[in-house]
Structure 1
């Protein structure tokens, strides 16, 4: 009886808004920002954050710490990333005071043609199995970053992940949940090497239970000793290619051996005095820039956060940008993507004119044109790294090469199998990518390194964070904890058309008054579970000369500094 009464009292307190006991900041914030002078690491796993901090304390820089944390996450959060996947980075180099971009995404098999899919009557590339596997670019990305900016030996950088893989670590709550869902699904589908790699003593580890991956420890040792060629030209490559061929796929030793990452120039728009930076396609980062260009035309000093007007204007801007995303975004070595025009003031002005007081359906503009992890690091020299890495669809394709300890990505699923589109499948082409890092500068100085995970949600998440900080004055922890919303149903780069005006999914923190207001504007409104991404951020406070870090409560992560 007492328990029942206490539960009712707790519920009553929540409904009255009395459950928030913080005496400073926004009521929805889960904690204060982390503040430190010498360095900062923010990742989606506390142990990976500590690994990154240890690297900084040993004299490594932000680049070393990012690689070490990513290697640790590939072990500890295989539901979101791993060396079977790709990565993208935006990096502030303190020495040259310049931003650098790295596209470390892999390409489709050169021996797999569009005709193959047409002859087999495929309308889309299957999510699971060998046909969705493209070259994994992460390891080459590590060595590109390390060769250009790293300081510690790669052996020292990978040692913490090797030790954890060999000796084990306890699974955290959210990762344990997704790990069990994914491994059970792959085992039910009888995909190869799942049990051998992910099942311990006959059972799938759960939250708090110890997981080891000695195969991955050995793979990391080989990479640390033999460099990127150990992965792309040695026994690892031979094992990957032979395994894929054995199971009916096309990824070859030649595809792996010829892989190369690409240094690219980030692109930006100025949003109310702040330069917001993204990478150009084959990723979707410029969708956030397009949204911001449209939204800058509205005065949000007179629009309340989370209000009907806020969500309506945001959603319409998203729909406009995503129709362009479906039409134009693709590997720029194969398609003449009109990036400058898409993010221009003139184009934003034309697109903004299409927005009315009601939910609308849009077409792409006419232009003349030929589960994931995010982490961020910063060091005492002023280097800052915005780093995102993924296998796609959680763990990936389900294809686990024997005794290597990781799953290959299924990014190839995101090609369009219809002819005549920018993102139509071609051999040796990089697929459309959802994962995007972000960066903000102010007056040519670093301001904020951040990212938001979550597939199609990512440009929406980036835009929400930028607006939360710049328009609504939130600190970076509040900006990540603030209630979110996600619009789904626009046209896709894989060829599927828009679903009417789509659906706005809202988190529980969005008031019902806003939901009712959206419905009055003819929006469909729904509720989602776990589809609102995961966020980390580091801000450089130039006035106080300190870093401020944040990691939101939707994931198991942590920000920490020293």
Structure 2
């Protein structure tokens, strides 16, 4: 009976904890939300979503590699260890601080649609959108070209040294982590529905290459299972030995093109041979004395800057974290920016984009006037994408800092897996619309709309924070919330990461999901304003970040993922 009473009491406490004030929480760290302290180190720092990836990055730095070398090495490993989220069948974006040049560089390593596939071809097939598992969703993978561009400009080691740790791990095997195994449970449960595959779909029969590679023994890996990928190890060795040309001109490209065309796709060797990454100037706005930097379109990073411009008109520090005003003004600003995103963000080679107007303080003032203080508004449809990604950041002993994000788009991308190469191909073509006269209307040789965005923060021209957050349309929302936590609410980097998050989704007024940690009083106030409030889980992204104070690096890693920050 005593044990029963204690169990009831504990359950009551747990239930009540969902409704306590955010500022009443007490963690061992002494901070409001932090699960652990920041990592502090002088010579180098790496923060990734997998402990072994962080260790590889630090090992590369200790061997004399640059932040760029270490970031590529970590990304290569994650393509093996977390293949649903990323890999060399996908695309990549990077922002890098060059200490020598005292400036930021942006790299757009995203690929284009097939030159031989037209909008009319797709319409003639009776399509109203590009199916996620269709060969038409496969655009040219840009990651490998991005690696070589990044290393040629900012690297110190050769590619063999950078890829060697993953080659060895892929042959020897690693244990599958808990978070990755949980994601496979989601795949097994919801993948067929999400990809609109037939009811009689059979893994082994309909996707034999995919199944052999990712479902050995007829099921996805569980936590603690050993993952081995000798095919990927061989592919990495080919890239290390032969360079970029192995992927875009040689055997790898030939295998991809042949396999995609067998499935009815239009990719050609010409598409691969003509591929190149683009060095771009990051775009920025100043938010309360800090310059926030994002990659320009065809990515969605400008929405972060638009949201911040709107929120700058509110004294959020006075309202406080978790207040009704914090959540309300944030959500309304997000809806305004996403409505603009759906109209104006696309490939700048195909449309003239009003970037200067969208990022101006004057435009933000006009948009802010549309927000009511006491009620939700419908600002029109926004662009919502639920893609899957990894983010990592690395800093080296010379002061260089890399902010890198890489993705397959959906989990395992298109599911199309060329034989004997060890990776699946992305389905980034789902970022196109088949609607006429839209900024993201499909066209031959065009880059689709992208969700993946790295970010950077500088102060008075000096590097301050390299950071990013995964999760499709959650990414800009997460960027903004991290910055509000640091700048407006005075949190350290780890606390800013661990604090409960907000996710708004849907068209019209949409719905607002909250993690536990927001007070019942706030929820009730939001309901009175017309917000559709829900408690959510899993969909709040994955953060990594490094802060530099001029002497030390401070690393923070997402408590919702498997990763860690490591310094030396």
C-alpha separation between the residues in 1 aligned to 2:544 and 2:526? 29
| DSSP 3-state at the match of 1:225 | helix
Partner deviation per Cα, 1:395-447 (whole Å, 9 max, x = no partner): 21100011101010001011011111111110000000000000000010000
Aligned twin of 1:301: 317
| DSSP 3-state at the match of 2:317 | helix
**Are 1:244 and 1:250, in contact at CA under 8 Å, matched by a contact in 2?**
yes
C-alpha separation between the residues in 2 aligned to 1:269 and 1:503? 28
Q: 1:524 aligns with which of 526, 532, 556?
A: 532
Alignment of 1:188 with 2:188, yes or no, is no
Alignment of 1:448 with 2:465, yes or no, is yes
1:135-146 paired onto structure 2 within 5 Å: 135-146=140-151
1:62-101 paired onto structure 2 within 5 Å: 62-101=67-106
Q: 1:265 aligns with which of 281, 295, 298?
A: 281
Aligned twin of 2:480: 463
Aligned twin of 2:36: 31
Partner deviation per Cα, 1:342-390 (whole Å, 9 max, x = no partner): 010110011111101210011499xxxxx10000000110000000000
Aligned twin of 1:375: 392
C-alpha separation between the residues in 2 aligned to 1:191 and 1:339? 42
**Are 2:543 and 2:557, in contact at CA under 8 Å, matched by a contact in 1?**
yes
C-alpha separation between the residues in 2 aligned to 1:411 and 1:449? 25
Change beyond 3 A, Cα 1:49–1:9: farther
Aligned twin of 1:210: 226
Q: 2:129 aligns with which of 112, 124, 127?
A: 124
Aligned twin of 2:401: 384
Offset, 1:179: 2.9
Offset, 1:19: 8.2
Change beyond 3 A, Cα 1:2–1:391: farther
| DSSP 3-state at the match of 1:385 | strand
Offset, 1:129: 2.5
After the TM superposition, which of the residue ranges 337-346 and 65-74 deviates more from structure 2?
Answer: 337-346
Q: 2:419 aligns with which of 394, 402, 406?
A: 402
Partner deviation per Cα, 1:29-62 (whole Å, 9 max, x = no partner): 1110011111000000001111101101111111
Offset, 1:448: 0.2
**Are 2:310 and 2:364, in contact at CA under 8 Å, matched by a contact in 1?**
yes
C-alpha separation between the residues in 1 aligned to 2:368 and 2:397? 42
Question: What stretches of structure 1 of length at least 5 have no aligned partner?
Answer: 366-370, 490-498
After the TM superposition, which of the residue ranges 512-521 and 225-234 deviates more from structure 2?
Answer: 512-521
C-alpha separation between the residues in 1 aligned to 2:526 and 2:357? 31
Aligned twin of 2:196: none
Change beyond 3 A, Cα 1:522–1:364: closer
Offset, 1:11: 3.6
**Are 1:52 and 1:65, in contact at CA under 8 Å, matched by a contact in 2?**
yes
Q: TM-score, normalised by structure 1?
A: 0.94
Aligned twin of 1:496: none
C-alpha separation between the residues in 2 aligned to 1:183 and 1:82? 20
Offset, 1:22: 1.1
After the TM superposition, which of the residue ranges 317-326 and 118-127 deviates more from structure 2?
Answer: 118-127
Q: 1:229 aligns with which of 245, 248, 257?
A: 245
**Are 2:27 and 2:35, in contact at CA under 8 Å, matched by a contact in 1?**
no
Aligned twin of 1:513: 521
**Are 2:380 and 2:508, in contact at CA under 8 Å, matched by a contact in 1?**
no
Aligned twin of 2:362: 346
C-alpha separation between the residues in 1 aligned to 2:529 and 2:147? 48
**Are 1:105 and 1:137, in contact at CA under 8 Å, matched by a contact in 2?**
yes
**Are 1:38 and 1:380, in contact at CA under 8 Å, matched by a contact in 2?**
yes
**Are 1:197 and 1:403, in contact at CA under 8 Å, matched by a contact in 2?**
no
**Are 1:192 and 1:399, in contact at CA under 8 Å, matched by a contact in 2?**
no
**Are 2:89 and 2:426, in contact at CA under 8 Å, matched by a contact in 1?**
yes
C-alpha separation between the residues in 2 aligned to 1:433 and 1:105? 8
C-alpha separation between the residues in 2 aligned to 1:374 and 1:399? 23
Aligned twin of 1:558: 564
**What's the RMSD between the two structures over aligned residues?**
1.7
